Amino acid sequence: MEKARLRTLGLANLKWLHDHPALKEQKEYLISQQLFNDPLWQKAQTIAITKPMDFEFDTHILLKQGWAEGKSMLIPVTNTERRLSFHSVGPETKFTKTAFGVEEPVDEPEVGREVIDLLIVPGIVFTRSGFRIGFGGGFYDRFLLQFQGETCSLVFSEQIQEHWPIESFDQPVKRLFIS
């Protein structure tokens, strides 16, 4: 199946899960607990995540836990060259919504990729081996080419699709936490 069709199917699955909030919250809790109990999270001092759209995994859980544990939490900002920069955020950070509907921090300091210990990569569709289909902009694939830290994704079982063509520019994440 081609990526565009898989992306459509993946979005439909995420929206179905969003329409079943008790199930979505249960899965988010189980996935979060897997992550929080894993050395990837426990060893990381600087963690980069995205602010979610309402149908995506609710990363606010991770922000609160990270701040409670004294970790530095980062959120990406996109630029016109389809590049990501990551910015330090706190509970008082002000955000603005982009044309894509994603919240990005306003006036927060940029942090270099070399200080990120753990990058939690979003996606719509995943293979169990860590390849992912995102929204199609290539932002994360470009960033992952030069990123040396740990990577993982938080994945609902509804997002797993094994059979699609992996392309040369596709960059896998190292670990999936799935429920």
Domains present along the chain, CATH in parentheses: 3-178 (3.40.50.10420)
Closest CA to 73 of 31, 121, 103, 117: 117
Task: Render pLDDT for 26-64 as a digit per residue (tens, 0 to 9).
Answer: 999 999 999 999 999 999 999 999 999 999 999 999 999
pLDDT value of residue 80: 77
- Burial (CB count <10 Å: 0-12, 13-18, 19+), residue 95: middle
Low-confidence ranges of the chain (pLDDT < 50): none
| Torsion region of 13: left, alpha or beta (phi above 0 gives left; psi -120 to 50 gives alpha) | alpha
Distance CA 173, CA 119 (A): 9
Which positions make up the binding site for substrate? 56
Which positions make up the binding site? 3-7, 56, 132-140
pLDDT value of residue 82: 81
Helical residues (DSSP H) of 49-130, grouped into ranges: 60-68
Sequence-distant (6+) residues with CB within 8 A of 46 are: 71, 72, 74, 111, 115, 116, 117, 118
**Beta carbons of 132 and 126 less than 8 angstroms apart:** yes
* pTM, two decimal places: 0.95
pLDDT value of residue 1: 67
pLDDT value of residue 84: 93
- Report the C-alpha dihedral over residues 145, 12, 14, 102, rounded to 10 degrees: 60
φ/ψ of residue 105, rounded to 5: -70, 150
Which positions make up the binding site for ATP? 3-7, 132-140
pLDDT value of residue 106: 92
SS3 state of residue 127: coil
